[in-house]
Structure formats: C-alpha cells, structure tokens
Amino acid sequence: MAVQMDKAAIREMIAKRAAQEIESGYYVNLGIGMPTMVANYIQPEKEVVLQSENGLLGIGRSPYENEVDADLINAGKETVTASVGAAYCDSAESFAMIRGEHLDLAILGGMEVAESGDLANWMIPGKMIKGMGGAMDIVHGSKKVVIIMDHVNKHGDPKILKQCKLPLTGEGVVDRIITDRAVMDVTNEGLKLVEIAEGWTVEEIKASTEAELIVSEELLHMPASK
C-alpha cells in the first residue's frame, strides 16, 4: 500500500529527486510550475546556471518575503532571485541560447508522455491558454529533457501512455520521467522502470501506466521526502 502524502509533500519529493539530475557545470532550464521548485534543492556545492527564456541567465532560489522584486520574474511570472554574476538579456538572445543547443538539461512539467518519448504539455483543447510558450524550442534545444509530473490525473487515469492524446509539444524528446510513483527512462527498447517510490509495488506501477514497462534488473528505490 502506498504511503499517504499530501500534495505539498509529493511535489517536494518530486522536485528533490529531479534536482539530483543536475550536475555541476550544467546550464539548466526549469519549466513553469513544479519545476521551479527544483532550484531550492540543488546542492550548494554544485556550480549550476539556471536559465529562463524570458531573459535571465542565473536564477537563484525562491525569494523570501522581504526579497520579493515584482520586476524580477521567471517565464511563469513567478518572482525569483538572481544569483551572483547573473546576466539579463532579451527574449531573442535567450532563445538563441536554447536553439543553439547550449542547455545541458531542461526539467519541465507534462500533461502526457508517450512510451516513445513524445511529450504533450502546452495545451488542452477547448481551454483558454495565453500562448504556446517556449517549451517547443526548449525540448528540441536541450541536450537532455526530464519531465516531472503526477503519475495519474485527478480522475486516476494514466498520464504515461502508449500514445499521447493531447497536442504534442515534441516527438521523441523526453529522456526521463519522474513522477510521485516512479522514475522511468525512454530507451530504444522501450520505457524502462528504473526507480520506484516507497510504498508502491511494480504491479501497482504497471497498473497505473498505460505504456508498456520494462523493469530494470537494477531497480532502485526513490529517496523519500524528509
């Protein structure tokens, strides 16, 4: 039986696990929503530069109340801090960095991911959206793409599918998926289950995943949130 956790604890667990994907020397783009939390869990000894497509190279941690600057925001219009040595630029220069494949890693949210690595994360038909944002450029310009998301939607339906039903952001762009239940890698052989969260069984993960899963022979346990 899965360990019961509230939504905040689940998001923290996922963000902490995603932070482990970041290596010293990386240039990283963090998507809007839950991915922005990852900045708070990067180990301080790692020298990492976080990039925002609205024109900030060198995002710091989330600001405390007395540090909030309404003019200093990320692409999701959330207030951020700037790290020492941060640089500002316009969106055209920022996207030149992205399209020039200068990002080592992008950590983004997802609505659906297919077993082939297809990603849908920019719109739900019939719902109002402000625009497609920069995700289509980011997933093609980053050397590695990690998607963090809930394993199932609010109705309990799988979000990791054989084939995406929503409009695609990119085909075959996802390298790794991190959810509240598991970590999965997109491989040439198929979607591989490489880590499992505390309290879940392989059978339960398979039952909540539409895509076919290959279970790694070296299956690990995801670190619990503390």
CATH of the domain at 30: 3.40.1080.10
Residue 212 domain flag: no
The residues, any chain, with a CB within 8 Å of residue 171's CB and separated by 6 or more, are: 116, 117, 118
pLDDT computed for residue 88 by the predictor: 96
Residue 220 domain flag: no
Residue 86 domain flag: yes
53 is catalytic: yes
Q: Give the pairing of strands 182-186 and 176-178.
A: antiparallel
List of the chain residues with pLDDT < 50:
1
Residue 88 domain flag: yes
Calculate the CA 169 to chain-centre distance: 14
Catalytic residue of the set 12, 21, 45, 53: 53
* Token representation of residue 160: 């990791």
Measured between alpha carbons, how far is 125 from 112 in angstroms, rounded to an integer? 14
pLDDT computed for residue 224 by the predictor: 67
Ranges of beta strands (E only) in 7-144 are 27-30, 49-52, 56-59, 82-88, 105-109, 112-114, 119-120
Residue 219 domain flag: no
Ranges of beta strands (E only) in 54-141 are 56-59, 82-88, 105-109, 112-114, 119-120
Yes or no: say if 82 and 121 are a contact pair by the CB < 8 Å rule: no
Q: Integer distance in angstroms from the first to the last C-alpha of the chain?
A: 19
Residue 208 domain flag: no
Coil vs helix vs strand at 191 = strand
pLDDT computed for residue 2 by the predictor: 56
Residue 225 domain flag: no
Range of the structural domain that residue 12 is part of:
7-180
Yes or no: say if 109 and 148 are a contact pair by the CB < 8 Å rule: yes
Query: How buried is residue 114: exposed, middle or buried, by Cβ count under 10 Å (0-12/13-18/19+)?
Result: buried
Domain tally, the chain:
1
Residue 133 domain flag: yes
